[in-house]
Chains A and B, each alone.
Chain A
């Protein structure tokens, strides 16, 4: 008889890959409600205590749909020292970074200061989150890199935050969310793209956000599952707006990363845009090339969630259109729809494409040696 009792969930899955990978969507969380206070002026600490935050969406606290698992997270991701999932660096190292041999981990904090009606408060919270990312995460583990969170609805203060962080090696991208007050191509957001392009930083657009509009183009649905699939609809309209407002034409060196909204829809969106553009080109003469060209040249895609068709050949067809050099592997840790690195890619992928998929594309895009 040979029995060991298992105390907690720290043990890695025996199936994890040992090949070095990049994880391009990790969500760090705050352990306590007041964890940001050291990075916030007294004035804003006081403001939060007295007034709280006022978001564009109707819900005062939290997202409008329940999230399937507590904090939308894996149930085995609670740190042993307490606090919500994703709030402990040492546990993240043990559960995610070490066993999966993560060489580059890109942090995308959610529930920051984005989508708040008070733009000064929004800017202060975003800046605090950025300081916190350095202090608590990237300075303590060199594998981790942060995203510059910006007050998205005020392009000028967002651009100022980007310029202040530009050149700081702790940061590798600018982070926006897909649900905003207006579609992402509109002029109010242009200062963000201009500053990002100048800084040589890609702009990540992560699913979610608090723009105040219904979750789907046809209104507020009944179920969380509808919100889940709604992310790809939202990302599609954001991307169409970026193309058709001329953002890619105006900022030709801008790189966009579509995060956590799937990518199986990319070819059909591009095909539809191209077809309509041929007929209606004179409405948007600033869009000088077929929309698909901008998309293929300036857009990257993270993999969680990956579409999961019955025939793996269907998946390969989509990826071949997008390009094996455009996908960035992501787990979405600690969220419940986490993807296990060793289990996501079907058999039949060449070694060169596998290594680009798991690591090479991300290192190149984010400029990691």
Chain B
């Protein structure tokens, strides 16, 4: 796994993202409140440049009339058809096509009543090494 320096830390302040191409692969790296996340910039649905969408939260509801909004700034919404992905895990939400479901390790999280979709956007390992943001690919 090769390591690629992609930015000095001050070039990627919190709330920003950077688009780049490494070995022909489109990648986006986000700084969210000092944490770094990388995603393959290609939506598993129809191939849009996924990371050009807005970062939103996750709206969930246990019952009609009750809305819980969590993971603020951690869900990327595809710029084309609006499918939502968790940028920490690449997990998609709310895809109805059950026949493509794969199994994923279960874990408990607040308001987990929302349906997780079968699609997963590919995540990229990102870390900071002596003040440089480094992507592992």
Contacts and interface: CB of A to CB of B under 8 A. Distances in A.
B22 A9 contact: no
B49 A69 contact: no
Interface string A1-12: 111111001010
Contact of A13 (B21, B47, B79): B47
A3 B6 contact: yes
Interface in A1-27: 1-6, 9, 11, 13-15
Given A1-B5, A3-B6, A75 B52 contact: yes
Interface stretch (A163-171, A291-299, A333-341): A333-341
Contact of B21 (A3, A75, A308, A310): A3
B48 A76 contact: yes
A311 B20 CA distance: 37
Nearest to B42: A13
A3 B23 CA distance: 7
Best-buried of B6, B41, B42, B49 by chain A (most CB within 10 Å): B49
Best-buried of B21, B42, B45, B97 by chain A (most CB within 10 Å): B21
Q: Binding site of B, secondary structure by majority: helix, strand, loop or mixed?
A: loop
Contacts of A9: 49, 52
B98 A310 contact: yes
Contacts of B13: none
Nearest to A77: B79
Contacts of A338: 80-81
Contact of B46 (A4, A6, A343): A343
Query: Contact size class for B?
Result: 20 to 34
A117 interface: no
Interface in A287-313: 308, 310-311
B53 A75 contact: yes
A74 interface: yes
Interface string A75-89: 110000000000000
A84 to B, nearest CB: 15
A3 B4 contact: yes
Interface of B: 4-6, 18-23, 26, 41-42, 45-49, 52-54, 79-82, 97-99
Given A1-B5, A310-B97, 17 more contacts: A3-B4, A3-B21, A6-B20, A6-B21, A9-B49, A9-B52, A11-B49, A13-B47, A13-B49, A69-B82, A74-B79, A310-B98, A336-B79, A338-B80, A338-B81, A340-B46, A343-B47
Q: In the A-B complex, list the 5 residue pairs whose CB atoms are closest, starting with the nearest.
A: A75-B79, A6-B19, A340-B46, A13-B47, A343-B46
Interface of A: 1-6, 9, 11, 13-15, 68-69, 74-76, 308, 310-311, 336-340, 342-343
